[in-house]
Structure 1
Amino acid sequence: MTNIVAVTACPSGVAHTYMAAESIANAAKANGWNVKVETQGSIGIENELTSEDVAAADMVILTKDIGIKFEERFKDKPVVRIGVSDAVRRAPQVMEKVAAYLAKTSA
C-alpha cells in the first residue's frame, strides 16, 4: 500500500491550509493510498506527523507558499512541492504525477 504524507501551510494560515489538506487527502484516498496530512496554520501544528508516519512514507507533499516547520524530517524522502492553490484546485492531477513517479521508481 502506498503511503503519502503531506504538510500544508499558507501565508495567512487559515482557510487555504485546511482546504489544501482536505483536497490532498481526498485525492490520495481516491487512489487507494494511505494518507496523513499535517497542517501548519494560524493555531499551530495540527495532526502532526510522527516519525513513524515519515518513515513509512513513499512520498511527501509540501506546500511551498510559506516555509514548512521541521522540514528536515523529510531529507531522505522524495518530496513534491506544490503551491497551496494547486493543492486545493489540482490535487487529482498532482496525485497522477505522484503515481507516475512511484511507478517509475518501483520498476
Structure 2
Amino acid sequence: MRIVGVTCCTAGIAHTYIVAEKIQAAATEAGHQCKIETQGTIGAQSQLTAEDIAAADVVILAHDIAVGGVERFAGKPVVDIPITVAMKNPKSLIATIEKKLANKK
C-alpha cells in the first residue's frame, strides 16, 4: 500500500514532526511505502508532489489545526484524525487502515 499524509499541530513544532516519523516507521514496518508532509512553524517540509498523491492508496491527515491544501486529495480515501491518535498508537492506525481498505475491495 502507498500512504501519503500531512501532519500539523497547534504549535507546529514537536508533535508535527514526531507524528510524521511515527506514521512513517509504522507504515514501513508493516511493509508499506509512506511519505508524510509536515506543516510546521517553518512551513511545509517533505511536500507531497502530484505524483505522490496520484500513486497513493490512502491519505492520512493527522492534525489539530487546519491542513493546508486538502483539495489536492480529492477522490482519494482520506483518514482524518486528531494528531494525538497517531501519536499514541501509529501501528494500530496503520492496521485499521489496512482492514478498512481490504474491506472495500
C-alpha displacement of 1:64: 3.3
Matches within 5 A, 1:35-74: 35-74=34-73
Aligned to 1:89: 88
In structure 2, runs of 5+ residues without a counterpart are none
Shift in Å at residue 57 of structure 1? 0.4
Aligned residues between the structures: 105
Give the Cα separation in 1 of the matches to 2:48 and 2:28. Answer: 17
Give the letter aligned to residue 80 of structure 1. Answer: V
Name the Cα RMSD after superposition. 0.8
Structure 1: how far apart are the matches of 2:21 and 2:63? 17
Q: Deviations over 1:8-63 (max 9, x none)?
A: 00010000000110110011111100000000000000000000000000000001
Q: How far apart, in 2, do the equivalents of 1:101 and 1:58 lie? A: 12
TM-score, normalised to structure 1's length?
0.95
Partners in 2 of 1:37 and 1:64 — Cα distance?
12
Q: What 5-or-longer segments of structure 1 have no aligned partner?
A: none
- The worse-fitting range, judged by mean Cα deviation, of 88-97 and 40-49 is 88-97
Residue 8 of structure 1 corresponds to which residue in structure 2?
7
Query: In 1, Cα distance between the equivalents of 2:6 and 2:101?
Result: 19
Measure how far apart 1:86 and its partner are. Answer: 1.3
> Matched residues in 2 for 1:64 and 1:14: separation?
12
Q: TM-score, normalised by structure 2?
A: 0.97
Q: Which amino acid is the alignment partner of residue 90 of structure 2?
A: A
Alpha-carbon distance between aligned partners in 2 of 1:105 and 1:56, rounded to the nearest angstrom: 18
